[in-house]
Amino acid sequence: MLAKNNRTDLPTKTCKVCGRAFSWRRKWQRCWNEVKHCSERCRRQGTAGSKKNS
């Protein structure tokens, strides 16, 4: 019998800001294609960094 919480089968992406790999989360199930950041902190840093460079 397979375990329910087998996280090795989940898709992964790399964060655009910090470069860390992060895996699929249930709250992202509808928008997984649009997810670019591993956390809220990276999302804020990424948007702040792009404003400075523009």
Is 53 among the domain residues? yes
Is 42 part of a structural domain of the chain?
yes
- CA quadruple 47, 34, 28, 23: dihedral sign: negative
For residues 28 and 8, the answer to whether their CB atoms sit within 8 Å is no
DSSP 39: S
Per the structure, the complete domain to which residue 53 belongs is given by 13-20+32-54
Beta bridge partners of 37: none
**Which whole number is the average pLDDT over 3-32?**
89
Global model pTM greater than 0.85? no
Q: How far apart are CA 48 and CA 31, in angstroms?
A: 22
Whether 6 maps to a domain, the answer reads: no
Summarised one tens digit per residue, pLDDT across range 6-18 is 767 899 999 999 9
